[in-house]
Amino acid sequence: MRELKILAVVVFFSLLTYYLVEPYAHHQMHMKVDANGDEIHIESHGFTYDGAADIAEAERKGDEVLVSKKKAFWSKVVQISKIKGDVVVGEASFALCIGCHNGANFNMGGAIPPNLDHVGGIYDKNYLIALIKDPAMAGNVDHKYKNTIEHPMGRIQVMMTEDQQIADVVAYMIAKKAGEVSPKEAFNEACVRCHAMRYVNVTQLGDTPKFKHEKDELAYKIKVIEEQDAVKAYMGKLPQDLSMMIRARSEHFMETFVENPQSQLPGTSMPRVGLNQAGYDKVKAYLTEAGDPSKKAREKLGPWVIAFFVLFTILAFFWKKSMWRDLH
Amino acid sequence: MAKFDENAKPFTNKWLDERIGLNTLKRVLNTEYWIPKDINFLWAMGMILAATFGILLISGIFLLMYYKPDTNLAFDSVNYTIMSEVGYGWLWRHIHGVGASLVFLIIYIHMFTGIYYGSYKRGRELIWLSGMGLFVAFSAEAFSGYMLPWGQMSYWAGMVITNLFSGGSLEAYGLVEWIRGDYVPGDAYLTRFFMLHVLLIPLVIIGLIVLHFGTLRLPHVNNQEGADIDYEESAALYKAGKKKESKVIPFSPVFLSKDIFVMGVYFILFFYLVFYHFNFAMDPVNFDPADGLKTPAHIYPEWYFLWSYEILRPFSKDVGLIAFALSQLAFIFLPFIDRSPNVAPAHKRGLFQIWFWVLLIDMIVLTAMGKLPPTNETFAAIGWYSAVLFLFMGPALFVITIFEKKIEKGA
């Protein structure tokens, strides 16, 4: 039938144009290539961390020393992860962590040490081991420091020197600091010391309290600005507000970026966050709540509206049929 | 003065007829506005455009109630207030965004239908010209609207497009500043584009739609074979009940019944996109707030401007601007470039048919290359050749149609 042939032509050219300007063009625009011009495929690795991505990155740079350093570090991490940790002994060591991670909201060397209430639940075990072993290497931001000791958390290297000690404290975190966590808590613990999210009234200092007097509000604002300046001085620029991040970046970008920021923004000062799959899901849920709050309503209403127009079209079809019956 | 029946009850048919010629209006605009029977669904695109414009207008009115044209407030009024505080604000916004993109898809289909069937030829020149006026007005409306969310792409697209007015080597930066009201896009810039988007351009569009419909009434709509129909004879046949023999149908309700059906199909697609696939019309880059100190890695216009953007891009500054200006004007002159005496579908017009498909494919290639990064040499080369090809399409049409043989009636 002629009409269907014409429709096929229209649909074909529309879809062709769509394919070229959307999936194909975006793939080309966001493609990363290595020194030989070959495409680097950045794929999510399920929020587990074994250093493979970091080693591959160092290999692409052609830096032999760096490659062997990364390999040695991550094989050490895997080795420690096989040691059986003692939860009771770990608790004692954990007291060392609390010295800084004390919830006082006090900036130490660039950022506020995050709250560790759910640390064993939202972060990957290997990542936690790596972080205690060498925070700069774990975050894949070793290019920022001459020596890890310069890292705000660098002193951990002289505080926890034994592999067994690291295994113990991580075992403690996973056993005792992994309770039920809400999306908001996961987000606050993982992101907030650097990022604000103004649509849910969160700044680098955490939830913004309500104030009765403007004077108090302004005084708090100044504290926020001071904290932002400190973060800015440490990171090089103020990390972006995350309010609309869930819509401003694709799902693939978010996943691979959170797993390893260097994969999408080479040279960025943002360290790897180290979230595990469950932790990332919580953070993502909270980003969606802030940046795309209509998602649920949209998904609920969609089928009804479409069903309405399907019915409308069927009725219109029969009306047209009846109108055109005597014409040919 | 005309006679008015004393006994006619107010607002009855007779009462209205005596005052505004209701029956005449109905006859002229509906029941005896004759449309050829030999048409396909592409003839419904006009009504689909009218409906889409209506939807844009209504959704726009709802958005207008909460939008704040201020560089400090605009982004959050759209992304926070409308998206999360206003009941169904998200729905209106998605409808508006998707509608703004789809309206151009239908405009292009409508335009290429007109070109394929020769619906711009003698007697129908004004339909084409008012249509091109609408295309220009819709383009301006789309561009000004794109500024309003004040995201990264709003800002940088605004920067790039207003810079074009410096005229290359003319260095008319004074003109650019005058258009922006500032050295860079800022508050003065945003408020004037807001005014253009919600008042001046919509008024122009509404006026042009009326004109476009008006230009259609006397020459009548074209048909699939470009046949020259004797409307009086066919209308008489139809009215006498010989519907099979008649070549025409009344606009309402017969033609309209088909329009409404096609519209239904279109709205299924429309709302599928609104609910499940809106990113193509609402670029993620624009969900980052405007930042004059941070240029996005890739700046590109929305898909419907890409072909003309690609005619600008591959050449040196001045040549590019001239080519761009020519390409913007080229379609307007179509009725005068095409010298052929035939009103017939492209597949009956020999070389013209080849010309048509080359034009369509060239524009799709330009569209694709307009978005692909020009740092890739292959893409840059394809872009350059297709832009040059586009510039030759006008003269080519002139030559082809001069030599086109007249198709004998009844052949």
Q: B302 with B123: CB under 8 angstroms? A: no
Paired tokens of B120: 């711009």
The predicted pLDDT at position A326 comes to: 87
- How large is the average pLDDT for residues B136-157? 97
Would you call B261 and A313 a contact, using CB atoms and an 8 Å cutoff? yes
Residues in A closer than 8 angstroms to B80, CB to CB, are 199, 243
User: Residue B289 — φ and ψ, nearest 5°?
Assistant: -65, 150
Measured CA to CA, the distance from residue B208 to residue B128 in angstroms comes to: 12
Nearest to B280 among A22, A29, A298 (CB): A22
Domain boundaries, chain B: 28-292, 300-411
Residue among A16, A310, A327 minimizing CB distance to B268: A310
Rounded Cα gap, residues B78 and B67, in angstroms: 6
Best residue of B39, B275, B382 to probe chain A, by most A CBs closer than 10 Å: B275
Token pair for residue B26?
């109905």
CB contact under 8 A, A298 and B90: yes
The alpha-carbon gap from A24 to the nearest alpha carbon of chain B, in Å, equals 9
Give yes or no for a cis peptide into B253 (omega within 30° of 0). yes
pLDDT tens per residue, range B174-192: 999 999 999 999 999 999 9
Q: Which of B371, B377, B378, B382 to mutate to test the interface with A (most CBs of A within 10 A)?
A: B371
Residue range A109-167, pLDDT digits in tens? 899 999 999 999 999 999 999 999 999 999 999 999 999 999 999 999 999 989 999 99
Does residue B1 or residue B281 have the better pLDDT?
A: B281
- Residue B38: its pLDDT value, please? 94
Tell me, what's the pLDDT at A34?
85
* Residue B244 DSSP symbol: T
> Does position A103 have pLDDT exceeding 90, yes or no?
no
Residues in B touching A312 (Cβ below 8 Å) = 264, 267
Confidence grade of residue A265 (pLDDT, cut at 50, 70, 90): very high
The C-alpha of B229 sits at a distance from chain A's nearest C-alpha, in angstroms, of: 16
Instruction: Quote the percentage of chain A above a pLDDT of 90.
Output: 90
Query: 3-state DSSP: chain A helix, strand, coil percent, rounded to 5?
Result: 65, 5, 30
Q: How confident is the model at residue B1 (pLDDT cuts 50, 70, 90)?
A: low
Within 10 Å of residue A73's Cβ, how many Cβ atoms? 18
| pLDDT for position B408 | 78
Instruction: Please report the pLDDT score of residue B411 as a whole number.
Output: 43
Q: Which chain B residues are closer than 8 Å to A12 by Cβ? A: none
Answer yes or no: do A301 and B275 touch at CB < 8 A.
yes
Q: What is the ipTM of this complex?
A: 0.95
- When pLDDT is averaged across residues B167-175 and rounded to a whole number, the result is 92
Nearest CA in chain B to A301: B275
A116 C-beta neighbours (distance < 10 Å), count: 18
pLDDT at B409: 62
Give the residue from B31, B38, B80 with the most A CB atoms within 10 Å of its CB, the best one to mutate.
B80
Residue with tokens 């400090």: B72
Q: Which of B80, B258, B272 sits opposite A199 (nearest CB)?
A: B80
Cα B260 to Cα B44: distance, rounded to the nearest angstrom: 8
CB contact under 8 A, B257 and A316: yes
At B410 the pLDDT is 54
| pLDDT greater than 50 at residue B34 | yes
Mutation for B interface: A323, A325, A326, A328, most B CBs within 10 A: A323
DSSP B243: T
At residue B134, φ and ψ (nearest 5 deg) are: -65, -40
pLDDT exceeds 60 at position B241: yes
Output Rg (C-alpha) for chain A, integer angstroms.
26
Interchain CB distance below 8 Å, A324 and B258: yes
Contact criterion met (CB below 8 Å) for A153 and A138: no
β-strand partners of A203: A206
Structure-block tokens of residue A199: 């649509």
Q: Among partner residues B40, B105, B243, which is closest to A326 by beta-carbon distance?
A: B243
Task: Find which of A3, A268, A306, A310 to mutate to test the B interface (most B CBs within 10 Å of its CB).
Answer: A306
Residues of B in contact with A15 (CB under 8 A): none
CATH top class, domain B28-292: mainly alpha
Q: Hey, is B157 helix, strand or coil?
A: helix
* Model confidence pLDDT, tens digit, residues A162-199: 999 999 999 999 999 999 999 999 999 999 999 999 99
Residue A273 near residue A194 (C-beta atoms within 8 A): no
- Residue B375 pLDDT > 90: no
**Chain A CB contacts of B40 below 8 Å:** 2-3, 6
Contacts of A8 in chain B (CB under 8 A): none
Residue A1 is predicted with a pLDDT of: 85
A327 → closest Cβ in B41, B243, B303 = B243
Going by C-beta distance under 8 Å and a sequence separation of 6 or more, which residues neighbour residue B386? Answer: B310, B362, B365, B366, B369
Residue type, A310: V
Please name the member of B83, B94, B243 whose beta carbon is closest to the beta carbon of A293.
Answer: B83
Amino acid in position A303? P
CB atoms within 10 A of CB A58: 21
Task: Give the rounded distance of the alpha carbon of A114 from its chain centre.
Answer: 16
Contacts of B287 in chain A (CB under 8 A): 244, 247-248, 291
